[in-house]
Every structure is written in C-alpha cells, then in structure tokens.
Amino acid sequence: MKLRLLSCAVALALLVSCSGPVEENEAGQPNTPPAPDFTTSEYLPEYDCPDYAPARVGAPFGFSLYNGHAFFTGIKDTENTYKYYTELGSGVNYAFCAKPECTHDSKDCQAYSTNSAISYYDGNFYYLSPVPSRSPAYPGQEETVIIKRPADGSAQTVAKYVHDDEVYSSHNGSFESRFIHRGFYYRIGSQNIVVDSVPKKQFYILSCPISFEKNFQVLYEEEYTGSETLYVRAVGSSIYILTYRSEQGTYDTLLRRFDTAANTLETLYSSSERSNIYDLHVESDGTIYISAGINGEGCGIYRLKDRALEKLYGNPETPPAGIFICNGVTVSITNYNPETYSWNTIIRDFEGKVLYEGELSGRFTREYREKYQNAGTRVSATMFITSYFFGDKDAVNMVISCSVGTGRGTAVVKYDISETRLTESLLFCFDLR
C-alpha cells in the first residue's frame, strides 16, 4: 500500500507540471487490472457504456471506463496495437497483459489487439484480438477472435472465432464501429455493393452472443445511395441507431431502437427535413436527446417525446464547432484558438440554464505539443483532436484523439464545473513516444 501511495504522489506531481511523460509499467511485470466489485451480470448502470467509446461510431481508439479505471488502445511507433489500462489520475499506464516476463512489444503479448474497446461483463473482460489464422490457406495471416479474460486473474481464452461465421464474412466492408456490450458482439459497417448494375452502399448491423454455439444475425441491413451519417449508442439492453441520409435534395432522418432482449427493431422517430445533426444522447432511463440544426433553424437541443422532437432551447452560438450532450448537460464549443489550443464554451443544463460560459482551456494540448516540438518531432495541426465529451453537471470530460507519426492514442481531460471557472485536470494520456 505504501508503494502505491508513493507512486500516486509521483504521478500527481507529474500531472501538476504536465511536462513529464506518462509512464508505462516496467517490462517483465505481469499486469492484472482490479476486478470490478461485483460478479454477476446484474444490470449496474455505471458499468453500461452510454458515455463511452464502445458504442460511438468513428471513435478512433476505443476506450472504456470501469470502476475508476480507463481501458484504452495505443499504437507506439509501430503498426502493432496494444491495450492499456490506468487508474484515473494516477499518470501510470499498464499494458493489459498478465503474462509473466512479457515485454509487451510483440504479437505474443496478451495486450496485442485491435483498436476496439475492452468491455466488462459478468466477471470477464472481453476484447478483440488478431491471432494467427487457423486456415492452412492463409499462412502468416491473422484472423480476429474475441478474447475472454476473467477478472479474477485466471487464464484468458478465445471466446469466439468470428471469421467462421457466414453472416460475418459476407459483411466485409469498412469498419465503422464494433463493440462488445452486455455479452453481445456488435459490428456496424457499410460496404460497396452493386444491385442491378447500380453501385450502392449497404449499411449493416450484425450481432452475436459471445458463445461458440451461436451465430451472427443481421439486426439491420439497408441499401442506399448518396451520403449518410450515423450515430449509435448502446444503453441497457437497447442499441439506438440514428441515421441521416441526403441524396439529390431529399433527406431522411431515422432513429431506431433494437431491443436485444426481445430481438425487435422499432422506429422511434422519422423525418424528411434537412438537418445538421451534432449529437445523440440516451439517458439511462431511455430518454433521448439530440442536438441538431433542423430546416435552417439554427442549432437546438431536442428531446424525443411521443415520436416527435420537442425543442428544449435554441443555441445562440451558431454555427458551433460542436454541441455535445452529456448526462444532464450540453457542451457547446466555438471559436477554436490555434495559438492557445482553447475553445470558447457554454455548458448548459437541459433547461437551457448556463452553468459555465467562457474559455475551455487547451493547456494540456499545448504543453504536449510543445513537448514533442522541443524533442524535434514535427507536429501537425491534427495531432490532438477533440473527439467528444462525456460527463454530467459536476464535470465534463473531453476525449482527445492523439496522433504523432505512426503513434496513436487517446487522452481525456476533465473539467470540473463551477459558475466562474472550469478546473482542468488530465485523467489519462497515452504517451506517443
């Protein structure tokens, strides 16, 4: 315990100065993240993932938060991708690998993985990992499997070979999102197809219980032309899917809910109005919020009620760079300042009451850029990108996608909210060096 307190103090000092690298564990140490403090599959809201990357389409490097720990993915100057975890605010990252004497830098490492997020369900961690193909037809190739790592520290096993499945292999487009939620694996993507000599896109959602006996099923499949934006959220036993399509002056917004327990797909809202959608948020009780500019009206915050959008308030900062919806609050950001890497922000509750208005500091981003610059690294404007926010009335958290050269990772900066100021602290960062 003493040792741990000491390392926390060192880590805090690092965070305060924000100048030192976030350290990794020493090579050769087996790492086992703490088991969450329950052992059943009972529904516990804080272990669901509405706020987190697993269910966010396009979230570049999946991370998840459980029990004050973050699990995330990183690439360090190599093509290989590894899973890491950290105690929030500790400043120390560990490879998600329980193998003794492992140096966590090869395909033999248990942390070697894809860029999808780690999920926790019923006493086990799950994640996707490439392993050598079992097929003699593909020597040297890899195939993706679902790895199951018991939280009690016992040996990990392959929970499912996904490529064996016909439905899975016939939907082989570009990945937009894949995540594990409550014991099911979801794969959401689109692929180019030709129907009667007409090139089209096919959008699909597949799911499968994590079990060798069960096959993938198509939850949803649709062909379309034109362009589409997509939002997916997993909350409780439901997957919410919001699509917006535009093609030659016609527009189509559809919000659907797939109930994984009842195996039903229901349309919650549809509209043919031209829209600019910023965010979709589902509270744990199933209440749905959308931030959007609809029919040239400027951006507003809407709540879904009786299959119609009820406007809660308009957003005067038009056009915003983004309006993100968290639990009970919205975060509007405008006027990015490239000198200080800061934004102007207004944080409101769902009634429109302003909780904070002013600068959203970019101190962390600035200091990390300077660190790399001082080390002689050529940095680009896109090295740290604000991906999205999650949080509540007490604090909002900014998720940053980081990239330097071939390195990729995630950082999360927490902003504690008071009327007069936001207090910034670094929750964690994957150091790219």
Binding site for Zn ion (CB under 5 A): 97, 102, 104, 109
In the chain, the amino acid numbered 432 is L
In the chain, the amino acid numbered 205 is I
CA separation (Å) from 428 to 90, 215, 375?
A: 8, 37, 21
Q: Which is nearer to Zn ion, 97 or 329 (CB)?
A: 97
Cβ atoms within 10 A of the Cβ of 361, count?
20
Q: Which is nearer to Zn ion, 109 or 232 (CB)?
A: 109
> CA-to-CA distance for 350 and 330, rounded, in angstroms?
7
Smallest gap, in angstroms, from Cβ of residue 99 to Zn ion? Answer: 5
> CA-to-CA distance for 380 and 399, rounded, in angstroms?
18
CA 385 to chain centre: 14
Smallest gap, in angstroms, from Cβ of residue 111 to Zn ion? Answer: 5
Q: Which is nearer to Zn ion, 53 or 102 (CB)?
A: 102
Q: Which two tokens stand for residue 162?
A: 């996904």
Smallest gap, in angstroms, from Cβ of residue 109 to Zn ion? Answer: 3
Q: Which is nearer to Zn ion, 29 or 377 (CB)?
A: 29
Smallest gap, in angstroms, from Cβ of residue 95 to Zn ion? Answer: 5
Q: What are phi and psi of 76, to 5 degrees?
A: -120, 95
Smallest gap, in angstroms, from Cβ of residue 67 to Zn ion? Answer: 22
Q: Which is nearer to Zn ion, 96 or 390 (CB)?
A: 96
Beta strands in 196-320 (DSSP E): 198-209, 217-224, 227-235, 238-247, 250-259, 264-271, 275-282, 288-294, 299-305, 308-314
Residues 6+ apart with CB under 8 A from 170: none
> CA-to-CA distance for 54 and 80, rounded, in angstroms?
20
Contact yes or no for 402/411 (Cβ under 8 A): yes
> CA-to-CA distance for 387 and 385, rounded, in angstroms?
6
Q: Which is nearer to Zn ion, 391 or 409 (CB)?
A: 409
Q: Which is nearer to Zn ion, 102 or 422 (CB)?
A: 102
